[in-house]
Amino acid sequence: MAFRISSGDFQLDDFHSQESSLVILTWLIWLLAVMTLYIVFMNFIIAVISESYERVMQKLVAESYRVKANMIVEREQFFTKDDLSSTKYFPSYIVIRRPLNAVMKEDGEWQGFIKDLKYTIRTTVTKAKSDIIQNSHLKNQGIDDHIKGLDAQVKGLDAQVKGLDTKVDGLDTKVDGLDTKVDGLDTKVLKIQDDMEFIKNSLTQILQKYNQ
C-alpha cells in the first residue's frame, strides 16, 4: 500500500486515516523509486546516444563520400549532351571506394568516444614515457657528474701523494747526505784521536828521557 501511495495511487479508502510513520515511509519509497528510475533512465539514454554517436562517427568518412556522390549526381542531371561527352568532366577513369574488411579490426582507425579514449590513453602513455626517460637521463647525468667529481678528487689526491713521495725522496737524499757527513766526521775524529795518542806517547817518551 505504501508503494501504491508513493506511485500516486491515492484511490484508497483509508488514505486520510494513515499513520505518520506510513506517510514518512511512503515519501521515502517515492524518493528512492524516483532517484532509481532517474539514474537508470539517464544511463540508458546516455548509452543509446553514445552508441548512435559512435556508429555515426565510424561511418563519417563513408557518409561524406556518399553525400558528395549524391551532389555530383544532382549536378550531372543539369548537364547537356556536350557536357556529358566532355573528357574534362568525365575522364577515362573512375574512383571507387569500398571497405577492405567488413569487420573493424583493433588496429583500424577508431571513431567517436572510442577514438577519443584511445587518443587519451596514447597521449598519457607517451607523456609518462617521455617523463620517465627525461628523469632517467637527468639522474644518469647527475651520476655522471658525481663520478667526474670523484675522479677529479682522486686525481688531486694522486697528485698530492706524488708530491709527498717527492718530498720523502728529497728527505731521504738529505738524510743520506747527513749520514755521509757523519761518517766523514767519525773518520776525522778517529784521526784526531790517533794523533792525540801519538802526541801523548811522544810526550811520555820525551819526559822519560828527560828524567833519566
Containing H/E element for 23?
Answer: helix 20-58
Tell me, what's the pLDDT at 134? 86
pLDDT single digits (tens) 125-147: 888 888 888 888 888 888 888 88
Contact between 70 and 77 (Cβ < 8 Å): no
DSSP string computed for 79-124 = --HHHHT-TTTS-S-------S-SSPPTTS---HHHHHHHHHHHHH
Tell me, what's the pLDDT at 113? 59
- Cα gap 152→149, rounded to integer Å: 5
The domains of the chain are located at 2-153
Residue 194's Cβ-side half-sphere holds a number of Cα atoms within 13 Å equal to 6
pLDDT single digits (tens) 173-186: 888 888 888 888 88
- Cα gap 37→9, rounded to integer Å: 18
pLDDT single digits (tens) 21-35: 777 777 788 788 888
What sign for the dihedral angle of Cα 33, 31, 48, 117?
negative
Q: In terms of pLDDT, which residue wins out, 101 or 36?
A: 36
Q: Which three cell numbers stand for residue 48?
A: 543509446
Q: Cβ neighbours of residue 12 under 8 Å, at least 6 residues apart?
A: 1, 4, 5
- Cα gap 55→174, rounded to integer Å: 99
Percentage of the chain with pLDDT > 70?
Answer: 81
- Cα gap 34→27, rounded to integer Å: 10
Tell me, what's the pLDDT at 102? 46
Tell me, what's the pLDDT at 81? 84
Tell me, what's the pLDDT at 84? 82
pLDDT single digits (tens) 75-116: 888 888 888 888 887 887 777 766 655 444 444 444 555 666
What's the whole-number average pLDDT of the chain? 78
Confidence band, pLDDT 50/70/90 cuts, at residue 198: confident
